[in-house]
Structure 1
Amino acid sequence: MSQSKPSTRDRIVASAAQLFYQEGIHAVSMDAIAEKAKVTKRGLYYHFRSKDDLIAAYLEQRDQPNLETFKRWFAEAEGDLPKRIQSIFQKLAKAARQKRWRGCGFLRTSVELVQTPGHPALIVGRRHKRNVEDWLCLVLGELHEPEEARRIAQQIVLLLDGAFSVVLLHRDSTYMERAGEAAAIIVRTSS
């Protein structure tokens, strides 16, 4: 059974995603994306009105896969709820030790777009972070009242995003592991 070829739009987004993640959104030109995707600039602009729309599409295509990865890591982990939450951080620490790791694409993009709070990519980024928080809330809701589950989920998101930043800055995945330990303590002591 043969696999269908990706659409031109999908090829453009995949090329942009690779370049944006490796180099940052401001460092990558539309010319470079067109070249990597093997399309003309006209073809690129046929699918995306602007670079801003392409940046938003790049993050949009990362949203569910990233969340599904967290869910899978959580489901595969052994132990109680605190240990399973901690396992997400441990898996991220392992990923951060890879040479190609560049941190959280959502956070890196938001830093580059800090002067444009209404940018479509920031809207996608906020939605992704809320999706992660909502999923954590759901998981924590098995043991906690909704308000308490939300508070703990927000603390875990702060630990995740803080760890992404510090690991990227120091290139030391130990910070992600320490954040996971802190998350486990928060979950355990809030029970």
Structure 2
Amino acid sequence: MNDPPDTRSRIVSAAADLFYGEGIRAVSVDAIAERAGVTKRTLYYHFDSKDQLVAAYLSERDQPNLKLFQNWYRRAEGDAEKGVRIIFAQLAKAANNRKWNGCGFLRTAAELANMPGHPAILVARTHKKRVEGWLSGALSAAGYQAADDLARQVMLLLDGAFALVLMHRDPAYMLAAGEAAATLLRAAASRQT
């Protein structure tokens, strides 16, 4: 089969738009092929199954999402408390967009909760651990002891806020979680002195 090199990317992009907008189970392979402008046969040439395509959709989001968090955090220029608060504030801002549908990793994991070995669940788990690991490293570099524990607590606030903002359509939950994260960091810093 002689496809242009961007065919796979077009398929993943079409799948990403549909999966994020409508959900994994609501979207058919036929709809993805149509959106990508390819035949179903071409889609299956690039991906053995819909499961593989769902995993590819999340894999494509992994590094861009992590880099976005890192860029937001860097705006604080070394102030970890401010950096974490900025991440939550930027997510609250994003949640004001009518097309915002929460965290694609969490939504996919929720849809596939009865399939813990699904390749997309593994990608989602890896992504969340990667974000947590980066955050732990950033907090450690900022001088926090027990950075692993703090990073895990911030992740709990972050993912809890994603769920509540999606449920209530109120970005104030994200801002409140950011304040709670800043309070955690302040308390941890005061215990170290």
Q: Equivalents in 2 of 1:188, 1:68: separation in Å?
A: 25
Given the two structures, how large is their TM-score scaled by the length of structure 1?
0.94
- Matched to 2:154, the amino acid is I
Selected match of 2:149 from 141, 145, 151: 151
Give the corresponding residue for 1:180. 178
Give the corresponding residue for 1:190. 188
Give the corresponding residue for 1:109. 108
| SS state at 1:98 partner | coil
- Matched to 1:106, the amino acid is F
Give the corresponding residue for 1:14. 13
Give the corresponding residue for 1:134. 133
Give deviations 1:55-107, integer Å, cap 9, x for gaps. 00000000000000000001123672211111100000000001100000000
Count residues with an aligned counterpart.
Answer: 185
- Matched to 1:144, the amino acid is Y
| Displaced runs of 4 or more, over 2 A | 77-80
Deviation at 1:6, TM superposition (A): 6.4
Query: CA separation of 1:115/1:190 partners in 2, compared to 1, >3 Å: closer, same or farther?
Result: same
CA root-mean-square deviation: 1.1
- Matched to 2:140, the amino acid is G
Unaligned runs of 5+ in 1: none
Counting aligned pairs with the same residue, the percent is 58
Q: Equivalents in 1 of 2:41, 2:86: separation in Å?
A: 45
Given the two structures, how large is their TM-score scaled by the length of structure 2?
0.93
Matches of residues 1-191 of structure 1 in structure 2 within 5 Å?
Answer: 7-77=6-76, 80-142=79-141, 143-145=143-145, 148-191=146-189
